[in-house]
């Protein structure tokens, strides 16, 4: 019997021989495609492997594809799905470690720079293997974890995406990532009740929040192994290109390039993440807001780079098509930013699709986008869709 990890199963998979949960329990007969509910049931039961003497045969996944281009797109998406477990490990390890670092900074204790950089390097390697892995960050803000820590780690992913697009060296990526993952070090010096306050801040409380970049810079430069280049990211990530930011009102290229990158990543991630005092917005609307304010707030050259990475319809955007179907953007072609690659979630009758159906709008001229949806409008939880629950 061959053992196949449950995490590798996809709706639509079929096998040439019967599949068993264990030696006494049959899951499905041969040539019967797996359903989404089958996989969910295995996950709920805590089943780690299934067993079969057969091989994977042509499945519903493959039958929905006609061209070699679409087959290649699906293969890339399948590889992306198979990286989710590593993302959980890398993201979870980084959050756990940075939470300890932030606690140490709050108490004026020493911090482990090598440990920080080890976690940053793990993120860099993950993004080098497949930069689209960031799609699965969606929903991590709902996990019971210090949101400042989750935010810092998530922003690091987006900052490093930009750094890679700018052809940064490994040394530059490590500097950028180290500074970005510590951007909210100064928030550890702000009273906890203010940081987590769910109602409107008073003017005095808001001024205290605005002081966090200075607190962060002072704390980080107090460590002999952290250089000012890294610490300046924390100090300057709320500066704006037009000089209307804080704490020093720096303008244009007076702001370090690393901080100009991080400010874009910080703004984007803040918008797409849920907070206790506001709802999150979708990736498309977050990008639209960035572009709308980009002339004044952000370095226009770096913003263009970010837009080229994310596309007009960023990966993770929910779209309605002209046949009433709904899908999620899983890829794009740089030359055709208005015609992304979509994984269907609901068909034209608004019935949930259990297998994997990919539409490449560049090739399928009969379909076009009619609306960008948020999760409420689409009637879904994006985290559940991405993680197959």
CA dihedral defined by 136, 139, 145, 151, rounded to 10 degrees? 70
Mark whether 266 and 326 lie in a shared domain: no
CA atoms within 13 A on the CB side of 367: 23
- Choosing from 13, 36, 63, the residue where a domain stops is 63
What's residue 309's pLDDT?
A: 85
What's residue 66's pLDDT?
A: 45
Strands 56-57 and 14-15 turn out to be antiparallel
Mark whether 26 and 168 lie in a shared domain: no
Residue 347 in contact with residue 325, Cβ under 8 Å?
yes
What's residue 10's pLDDT?
A: 74
What's residue 278's pLDDT?
A: 65
Mark whether 231 and 371 lie in a shared domain: no
Mark whether 283 and 357 lie in a shared domain: no
> What is the domain extent for residue 349?
318-387
Mark whether 324 and 360 lie in a shared domain: yes
Whether 250 is covered by a domain: the verdict is yes
Alpha helices in the chain (DSSP H): 36-45, 60-63, 68-81, 84-106, 113-129, 147-165, 170-181, 192-195, 203-210, 212-221, 228-236, 257-272, 283-297, 300-310, 375-378, 382-387
Mark whether 283 and 146 lie in a shared domain: yes
Mark whether 128 and 189 lie in a shared domain: yes
What's residue 374's pLDDT?
A: 83
Is residue 225 exposed (0-12), middle (13-18) or buried (19+ Cβ within 10 Å)?
A: exposed
CA distance 299 to 95: 29
Whether 72 is covered by a domain: the verdict is no
Global pTM?
A: 0.75
Mark whether 114 and 162 lie in a shared domain: yes
Beta pairing partners, 326:
320, 346
What's residue 277's pLDDT?
A: 60
What's residue 388's pLDDT?
A: 65
- Choosing from 310, 334, 357, the residue where a domain stops is 310
| Nearest-5° Cα angle at 21, 20 to 27 | 55
CA distance 155 to 120: 12
Mark whether 151 and 256 lie in a shared domain: yes
Q: What is the pLDDT along the chain (389 residues), one digit of tens a residue?
A: 788 888 778 777 788 888 888 877 888 888 788 877 778 778 777 788 888 988 877 444 444 444 545 667 677 777 887 888 899 899 999 999 999 999 999 999 999 999 999 999 999 999 999 888 888 887 665 555 688 899 999 999 999 999 999 999 999 999 999 999 999 999 999 988 888 777 788 889 889 999 999 999 999 999 999 999 999 999 999 999 999 999 999 999 999 999 999 999 999 999 988 766 667 788 888 888 898 876 789 999 999 899 888 877 888 889 999 999 999 988 877 777 788 889 899 999 999 988 878 888 888 888 899 988 888 888 888 777 777 65
Mark whether 107 and 219 lie in a shared domain: yes
Mark whether 306 and 328 lie in a shared domain: no
């Amino acid at each position: 019997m061959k053992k196949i990890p449950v995490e590798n199963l996809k709706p639509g998979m079929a096998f040439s021989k019967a599949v068993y949960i264990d030696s006494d329990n049959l899951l499905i007969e041969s040539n019967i495609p797996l359903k989404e509910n089958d996989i969910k049931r295995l996950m709920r039961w805590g089943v780690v492997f299934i067993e079969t003497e057969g091989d994977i045969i042509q499945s519903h996944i493959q039958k929905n594809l006609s061209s070699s281009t679409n087959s290649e797109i699906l293969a890339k998406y399948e590889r992306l799905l198979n990286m989710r477990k590593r993302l959980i490990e890398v993201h979870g390890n980084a959050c756990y470690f940075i939470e300890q670092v932030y606690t140490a900074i709050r108490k004026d204790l020493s911090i482990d720079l090598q440990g920080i950089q080890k976690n940053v390097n793990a993120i860099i390697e993950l993004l080098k293997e497949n930069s689209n892995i960031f799609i699965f960050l969606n929903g991590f803000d709902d996990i019971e974890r210090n949101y400042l820590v989750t935010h810092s780690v998530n922003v690091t992913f987006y900052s490093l995406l930009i750094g890679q697009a700018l052809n940064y060296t490994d040394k530059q990526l490590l500097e950028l990532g180290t500074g970005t993952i510590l951007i909210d070090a100064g928030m550890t010096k702000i009273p906890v009740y203010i940081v987590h306050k769910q109602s409107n801040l008073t003017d005095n409380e808001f001024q205290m929040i605005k002081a966090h970049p200075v607190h962060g810079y002072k704390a980080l430069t107090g460590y002999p192994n952290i250089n000012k280049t890294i610490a300046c990211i924390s100090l300057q990530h709320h500066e704006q290109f037009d000089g209307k930011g804080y704490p020093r009102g720096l303008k244009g290229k007076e702001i370090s390039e690393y901080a100009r990158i991080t400010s874009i990543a910080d703004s984007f991630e803040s918008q797409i993440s849920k907070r206790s005092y506001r709802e999150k917005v979708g990736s498309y609307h977050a990008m639209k807001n960035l572009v709308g304010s980009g002339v004044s707030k952000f370095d226009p050259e770096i913003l263009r780079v970010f837009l080229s990475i994310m596309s007009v319809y960023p990966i993770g955007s929910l779209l309605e098509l002209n046949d009433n179907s709904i899908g999620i953007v899983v890829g794009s072609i740089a030359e055709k930013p208005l015609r992304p690659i979509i994984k269907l979630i609901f068909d034209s009758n608004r019935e949930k699709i259990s297998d994997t159906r990919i539409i490449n709008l560049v090739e399928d001229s009969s379909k076009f986008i009619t609306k960008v949806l948020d999760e409420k409008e689409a009637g879904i939880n994006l985290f559940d869709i991405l993680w197959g629950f």
